[in-house]
Structure formats: C-alpha cells, structure tokens
Amino acid sequence: MHRRPAAASTAPHPLDRLLAERRPIVMCILNLTPDSFADGGRFVDPAAAIAHAEKMIAQGADIIDVGAESTRPYPGMRPVSADEELARLMPVLPQVIALGVPVSIDTIKAEVATRALAAGAAIVNDVWGLQHDPEMANVVAAHDVPVIVTHNRETVDPALNILRDIEAFFSRSLEIAWSAGIGRNRIVLDPGIGFGKTPEQSLAAIAGLARLRDFGLPLLIGLSRKRFINAVSPSAPQDRLAGSLAGAVLAVLEGAAIVRVHDVAETVQALRVAAAIRAAR
C-alpha cells in the first residue's frame, strides 16, 4: 500500500525560486576526487576547486554539485570511508558555499550529508535514491532540504525493461521519503544515466523522460560526457562535448527541469539558443 505523500514544505528554498523561473536549471559538477571518470584529480587541490567553482558561476551555473567520492558506476568506483570523504570535502565546501550559489552535496552517506548541510549545503544528491544509507531520508527531512533521488543498480541486465525498473525504484524511494516526512516539493527525480545500465538503456531512459513526468516531480538529467555517448560516437570522456550538448537539449525538450553538466558555458549557450528557436515559432 502506498503511503500518503508528506505535505509540501512551506519554508522557501532557493530551488523553489529556480524552478519557478520555468527555464532549464544548470547544475555544474565539482569533483574533489582523484578517480572520477571525466575529470578525476583536476580539482583535488582546494585552491583549484574554488577557482573552478568561481569560473562555473561566472559562466551561468545555477547550482554547484560538490562530490568527494567517485560515483562512477560499478564495478569501477572505489568506495571511501566517511572520514576520507570529509577530509576531501571540508577544506573546500565552506568556501564554495560562500560564493552565494546553492550547493548540492553529492554523497550516499548520511554522516557526510549531515556535516555538509550543517556547513550550509542546500541540497542532497543521493545516487542511490535514499536506498543505500537508512539514515539518509531522516537527515534530509530533519534539515528540510531538497533531495535528488537517483535510480541505480549494482548490476547491468541488458534484458531489463529499464523504464519499468526506474519507475519501480522511484516508487520505493518515494515510500521511504514519505515515511521520513520529506515534503513532496523537496524531491527531484534522476533516472541515473549510466548507473547500472547498458548504453542502450541509458538512451531509452533519456527518451522516456516524458513518461517519468507522470510522477509529477521535477526531473534532473546527468548525461554529461557519459559512456553511452561513446557507444554512439566513439570518443574519450573529454571529447564528448557535442554529444553532451545534444543530449542536454533533447532532455530539456523531453521535460528535464535540471541538467547536471561539466561544461557550463557551452551548455548555457546551447539551451538558450534552443529556447530562442522555440520561442520564435
């Protein structure tokens, strides 16, 4: 039996304002990791990380998503302890928050989320959709912040109907959220492009965004530089800008409210041009 959704929170939040503008929201990626697939090691130095955050804000980023543990798909990721994750995160996070743009903490650990929210982070980005750490939903509810619920799988099953699996996963995550008291207006859904999916399934998830809008919640798409682009057009992660832009524009046309990207200036320009062409109709 499905629980009644938790009541919407009445407290204002920066994400509410961004969503009310009814334009694509650009979330930029700041990896403080040595092993992320696209830019691992580039921003482990705090000064380099902060400078990169400043640059992305100047280019038009609306949200900064900060991660200190690689979330690359299994089996390539190397899990780290909460202590190691926090040791990477805390020399950088307060200074990034001070830049004045809402900051999202990309973590699957409630302990890390708690420390980041106490420091001023505004959003939790959980790539296991509240289903990894049993305390995560309680932390989100206690702080009354938005959570990005991402579909994920530990194994890839090419025979799977991926949209049905995503829908079932989201339903479980929403049950967890309602039970914890997370307000309906505090949830964003992400189909998890590349997480536990074949390239073909990632393409199907992007193409199926309109179907996922039936949940009645904002959708985020994170496809920047991901492996499915290589399957369509062989390329290294750093050479997938064109594919990333094509995917971002089409995802927004299919209903994505937020795009999570590495290349901010190029994405902002592509989305603005697409919007201008549609407006000219």
Positions marked active-site: 226, 260
Q: Rounded to an integer, what distance in angstroms lies between the CA atom of residue 49 and that of residue 244?
A: 22
Evaluate whether 31 touches 43 at the Cβ level (below 8 Å): yes
Token pair of 119 as six digits: 């420091």
SS3 at position 111: helix
User: Cβ atoms within 10 A of the Cβ of 117, count?
Assistant: 20
C-alpha–C-alpha distance, residues 17 and 20, integer Å: 5
CA angle 207/184/114 to nearest 5° reads 100
- The residue written with tokens 């997480």 in the block is 195
CA distance 102 to 99: 9
125/207 Cα distance (integer angstroms): 23
Count of all residues that appear for the chain in the document: 281
In angstroms, rounded to a whole number, what is the distance separating the alpha carbons of residues 256 and 212? 10
The torsion region of residue 150 among left (phi > 0), alpha (psi -120 to 50) and beta comes to beta
The answer to whether 11 and 210 have CB atoms below 8 angstroms apart is: no
Q: Is the dihedral of CA 127, 133, 134, 135 positive or negative?
A: negative
